[in-house]
Amino acid sequence: MKKKNVFWGLLFILGALAVLVSKLGVFEGVGFWSVLFSIGLIGILINGIIHRSWGTILFSTAFLAIVNSALLGIEKLVPWPVLGAALLGTIGLNMLFPSRHHHGHYVYNGGIGGEVGEVEYHEEVSNDGSEQVNCGVSFHSSVKYIQCTQLKSLNLDSSFGGLTVYLNNAVLKGHEAFVNVDVSFGNMELYIPAGWRVICNVSSSFGSVQEHGRCRGEEADMLTINGEVSFGTLDIYYI
């Protein structure tokens, strides 16, 4: 978190300098709000590059182009051509280069009416008996019930899709496990026993992270949730 604060702090300081310089006529036609929105979008773009989130990269670039269209001289390309290109580019890149968090096998689904999408589920067991689950959806929706008896880590990815995961029947190895979430233009729902202790370190950019119900936290089990939500939603339900 400290590194993130340093990053955003430096970015806003540079933005403040840009605002002052623009008033001197160096960046003619660049207003305060354009600089402010550009700062946020640049931060989101860099974060998307770090996490290799194609939707975040392309759509933050598209919005940067829209905000600065006059400066770039691309008024004819905004907003819909740029946004359409970002959408199609995101679809293509997600198909060619799936999320780096998952190394399992993908099952392609051709549903009713020509529905096209991906659902991936894969379990791995390490030498010490720890179980790792990789689960992801792309242009599809899926519900998964995790029933591992030695769960240590869970990698979840939802890109242009919906993923619902129930953890109420899972047993955590050593009473501790980690969940890594990556939501991009999709939604994800986690159902977690209310007695577990839960630490949520999920950051969001143009998205939301919400907790529903009350986490009592009286049990020994502890679950740490890390990750990123971009242009999507993460809902955590305590049951």
Q: What is the pLDDT of residues 150-194, one digit of tens each?
A: 999 999 988 778 999 999 999 999 999 999 998 887 899 999 999
Contact 98, 124 (CB under 8 A): no
Q: Considering only CA atoms, which of 11, 74, 6 is closest in space to residue 19? A: 11
From the number of C-beta atoms within 10 Å of its C-beta (0-12, 13-18, 19+), residue 93 rates as middle
What is the model's pTM? Answer: 0.64
Place of tokens 């290799």: 52
According to the model, what pLDDT value does residue 188 have? Answer: 96
Q: Considering only CA atoms, which of 98, 99, 101, 117 is closest in space to residue 109? A: 117
In tens, the pLDDT along 71-116 reads 888 888 888 999 889 888 887 887 777 654 444 433 434 433 334 4
* Confidence band for 232, pLDDT divided at 50, 70 and 90: confident
Which is more confident, 40 or 173?
Answer: 173
According to the model, what pLDDT value does residue 125 have? Answer: 80
According to the model, what pLDDT value does residue 169 have? Answer: 93
Contact 205, 51 (CB under 8 A): no
Q: Is the pLDDT of residue 23 over 90?
A: no
The string of DSSP codes covering 76-99 is GGTTHHHHHHHHHHHHHHHHHS--
According to the model, what pLDDT value does residue 101 have? Answer: 47
According to the model, what pLDDT value does residue 112 have? Answer: 35
In tens, the pLDDT along 117-151 reads 567 788 888 888 889 999 888 778 899 999 999 99
Which is more confident, 218 or 4?
Answer: 218
Q: Mean pLDDT: which of 2-6, 16-20, 134-138, 198-202 is highest?
A: 198-202
233-238/187-192 β-pairing: parallel
According to the model, what pLDDT value does residue 162 have? Answer: 92
* Confidence band for 207, pLDDT divided at 50, 70 and 90: confident
| Number of helical (H) and strand (E) elements in the chain, helices listed first | 5, 12
Contact 214, 239 (CB under 8 A): no
Place of tokens 């160096």: 26
Q: Is the pLDDT of residue 50 over 90?
A: no
Mean pLDDT to the nearest integer, 19-26:
63
* Confidence band for 4, pLDDT divided at 50, 70 and 90: low
